[in-house]
């Protein structure tokens, strides 16, 4: 599944990336490449946990539409 992500620099160095559609799904890394790798792992684990607990996953299409509205 593809969800929009946000990446921003940390004041103390490195980067944070988050998937706003997946509450609490975020990762940190020293480089953009590292934060992407970490976020991929965290996102997979977040989705697996939600499925295991019977939670409905947010629609990627809806998350993309919401992100597009914010950037317009």
pLDDT in tens, the chain (72 residues): 689 999 999 999 999 999 999 999 999 999 999 999 999 999 999 999 999 999 999 988 888 888 888 776
Spans of all domains in the chain: 6-71
2 phi and psi, to 5 degrees? -115, 120
**Distance separating alpha carbons of residues 33 and 48, to the nearest angstrom:** 23
Q: Tell me which CATH code domain 6-71 carries.
A: 3.30.160.250
**Distance separating alpha carbons of residues 13 and 56, to the nearest angstrom:** 35
Give the pLDDT confidence score for residue 1 in this predicted structure: 60
Q: What residues contact residue 47 under an 8 Å CB cut-off, 6+ apart?
A: 1, 22, 57
Q: Which of 67, 19, 17 is nearest to 47 (CA)?
A: 19
Full-model pTM: 0.84
């Amino acid at each position: 599944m593809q969800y929009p992500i946000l990446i921003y620099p940390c004041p103390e160095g490195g980067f944070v990336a988050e998937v706003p559609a997946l509450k609490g799904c975020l990762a940190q890394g020293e480089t953009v490449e590292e934060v992407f790798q970490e976020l991929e792992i965290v996102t997979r684990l977040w989705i697996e946990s939600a499925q295991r607990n019977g939670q409905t996953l947010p629609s990627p299409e809806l998350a993309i539409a919401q992100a597009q509205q914010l950037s317009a």
